[in-house]
Amino acid sequence: MDSLLCLCARRVVTQHPLPALPPHLYPILFQVAFLDGRPLVLRDLVASWPFPVLHFQRLVGQRELLWDHTCIDCVQAVIQAVVAQLQRELEEPGCHSSLRVLDMTRLSDSVSGCTPAALTSWSSTDALAKACVEVSKHQPEFRSRGSKRHKGHSGAATAAPWVPGVDVHADLVVNRRSYGILRDALQAGATGPLRLKCHEFKAKYISAYEILTLLKSLDPSCVRRVDLRFRNLGLSGLLVILPHLARFPELRSLKLQHSKVDVRHLTTESDIRILCVARKLGMLPSLRELNLGSSRLSGNLRQILCDLQAPLESLELAFCSLIPADLAFLSQSFHAPALKRLDLSGHDISQGLLEPLQLLLEETSASLLYLDLRECRMADSHLKALLPTLRRCSHLRFLGLYGNSLSTAVLKDLLQKTLELPDLHQVVYPFPVDCYKREPPESRRNFVKDKELFEAAKAEFSQILANSKRIDLIWTYTPLGCRALDYFSL
């Protein structure tokens, strides 16, 4: 139910143009105008924003909104209002706005509907890049005007003209289609009035050369996360990228997914390259999160992580072909007691990994918040063996077991015994193996899902939750829409 303040604000934002407003009402009016999809009102609010900072995510908060055309229009309206403000400041003497920083970081967390977060970040990146390029086109003309206004009657230059500008802090996403406009925007904004300050940089399937071009244009002091998705980058390509990341002293998160790094069959040359990779990773003093998903690291995890200066808090090694020695190293390393997030999806737990995994979970039990073990070929016996250790993970918030061969009975046992974990918020369980039925011999498929059996299993799970009064615990069989825990926000 809306508060009285929200109801009054909704009444105000129906008016256009807005009446004169006291400064303390701007935040609530901005929030309501965004939630109600009123881009014209947002433009008016930003045009007269009375504070030096407009922090988008703090104003809007986390809302169950779809990233639809209305939402996109609202974000674009904010950006267009900032552009219009800069043009006024450049053209009109003495027209100085209060707004100096527009913070649009974590925008995807503000609109948490069914659309993937990457789409929200890409849409805002596109709009910001176009705005930077638009402002830069008029920059020489504006500079000329400003220079003339600051000449004396004799033609001698007086004090240097006041240079207007707004720093836009944002998370940027780039792909092949948007590379050109973002490159131009970053290069134009380095000295322009609209300056992009990237906190999180995501690049998908563009070349290593294009990645380096963009990385060189980013403000080193602002970058916190780099997420690079390549095809067939390999060790040699990784060694091209990593040296350029050392210029970001505050880099906390590095994700290198699908880069096809394969170190299973070592040669003298690849052994040297692994040592070089480890050395380059060790040059990132603030690194706390590392994702090497889909690399082939068998037996080489120690060598890759050996030069890190501080313990990792998040480690994602999904489908990395790890062997027992890798998990044994990790359980004995200084990373284990610090880990909050651990993803070991895609490993065959029946191939000697069960005992090392138990030891690793013992060492992480005091800190672990997120554990993903999907598609680990886990059977009932494996989960029963892990369950005592899982129950000692007293702060666990997320458990992923999707894609394993588990029965309704063992899932019920898991549910009942993990109810005691007070922070557990979400469990993604697999479709129970006993909820499949055999197809007739003439069918091309041996087994299909039996919806009736599954509905009965779901009813049992729901009843256990209802009896325990754990209405806060989400127990779901579908991984779609399950957003990964971001431990940085804790």
Q: Is the pLDDT of residue 27 over 60?
A: yes
Rg (CA), the chain: 27
Q: How confident is the model at residue 403 (pLDDT cuts 50, 70, 90)?
A: very high
On the question of pLDDT at 213 being above 60, the answer is yes
Per-residue pLDDT, 5: 84
Q: What is the pLDDT of residue 39?
A: 93
More confident residue, 165 or 287: 287
The pTM (predicted TM-score) of the whole model is: 0.89
Contact status, residue 352 vs residue 328, Cβ threshold 8 Å: no
Give the model's confidence band at 151: pLDDT under 50 very low, under 70 low, under 90 confident, else very high.
low
CATH topology for the 348-489 domain: 3.80.10
Q: What is the pLDDT of residue 259?
A: 66
| Statement: residue 485 has pLDDT above 70 | no
Least confident of 234-248, 265-279, 409-423: 265-279
Give the closest residue to 162 by CA, choosing from 88, 97, 90. 90
- Residue 362, C-beta contacts closer than 8 angstroms, at least 6 positions apart: 331, 389, 392
* pLDDT at position 110 over 60: no
What's residue 111's pLDDT? 55
Q: What confidence score (pLDDT) does residue 114 get?
A: 46
What pLDDT is recorded for position 66?
45
CB 164 within 8 A of CB 89: yes
Per-residue pLDDT reduced to its tens digit, 360-402:
999 999 999 999 999 999 999 999 999 999 999 999 999 999 9
Sequence spans of domains, the chain:
4-97, 348-489
Say which residue, 403 or 137, is predicted with more confidence.
403
- At 113, is the pLDDT very low, low, confident or very high (cuts 50, 70, 90)? very low
pLDDT of residue 159: 46
